[in-house]
Structure 1
């Protein structure tokens, strides 16, 4: 089912040492505190968690957006620098929402076509299914580009 959901991958080579990288992560990633979520802190670009081997973050938002990617990053230290492998994907709730509406509109399409032989209504329902998927994929791409710019800002300072 992974092929159904939009995703993106990217690999970057950073010329930072580990201490510099961890300082940047500490400065720009606000740890998730479910008790009190303060979105007003200006220094933090991302919300999430990080460790010595990687991170799991998302862009800090003021307004909710279902299409913002969840970014998983893994670090590998090498002679030339730190290799960061990034994977962008939907949040689990967004995956469930997209799957729900896709299945629902396909079932409605089948209902109209098979049970009632209402081809027009079936075609309209199928069109809603396709349009919903395309809009979801394109909005995800837009949010991935925004997240990449902010990651570049965080890591490239």
Structure 2
């Protein structure tokens, strides 16, 4: 199990690679996730970058959401359609802050437990680290389901295991 929230998925589509990339291109606004843009109206479902054999997209949202998954995908042609290899992960900044606060909480727990001998504070800090981590996983999984529903509707694909 990876430390940071992550999920993978393989989709099989009866559409060719060109059709899938065309469908994604129609609903994706090309943008760099590291650049700041003030967007007023967006008629697209996704923001991201689409390349020849891969893409990196996320749902368009109206307000900030730390647990929104970044969908990275690779696509391969097959004689009967195409196969998409998807990876859902946190945006790098969200992963950084999750890791940062969990490390700080664990260090505070060690400080209070081993150096100060304030065991109640150590347990509280350790509890906060686990609570923060569990909260992040739970909300990330919920946001993945939302992104998957939209993505699957666009591609009209069948999921494989």
Please, what TM-score do these two structures have when normalized by structure 1? 0.92
Kept in 1, the 8 Å contact 2:17–2:76? The answer is no
Q: Classify the secondary structure of the residue corresponding to 2:61.
A: coil
| Pair 1:77 & 2:77 matched | yes
Query: 1:156: Cα distance to partner?
Result: 1.8
Count of residues in Structure 1 that have an aligned counterpart in Structure 2: 155
| Pair 1:116 & 2:133 matched | no
Query: 1:35: Cα distance to partner?
Result: 6.1
Q: Which has the higher contact order (CA 8 A, sep 6+)?
A: 2
1:18-76 CA-partner distances (Å, limit 9, x unpaired): 3422321121010016464435222x111001122010001111011011111111010
Q: Which residue of 2 aligns with 1:148?
A: 148
Q: Which residue of 1 aligns with 2:21?
A: 22
Unaligned 5+ segments in structure 2 are: none
Q: Which region of structure 1 is more displaced relative to structure 2, 26-35 or 5-14?
A: 26-35
Alignment of 1:40-79 (within 5 A): 40-42=41-43, 44-79=44-79
Q: Distance in 1 between matches of 2:146 and 2:40?
A: 18
Unaligned 5+ segments in structure 1 are: none
Q: Classify the secondary structure of the residue corresponding to 2:68.
A: coil
Q: Distance in 2 between matches of 1:39 and 1:22?
A: 26
Q: Which residue of 2 aligns with 1:38?
A: 39
Q: Distance in 2 between matches of 1:81 and 1:52?
A: 16
Kept in 2, the 8 Å contact 1:39–1:60? The answer is no
1:60-109 CA-partner distances (Å, limit 9, x unpaired): 11011011111111010011111000000111111110110001001111
Kept in 2, the 8 Å contact 1:24–1:155? The answer is yes
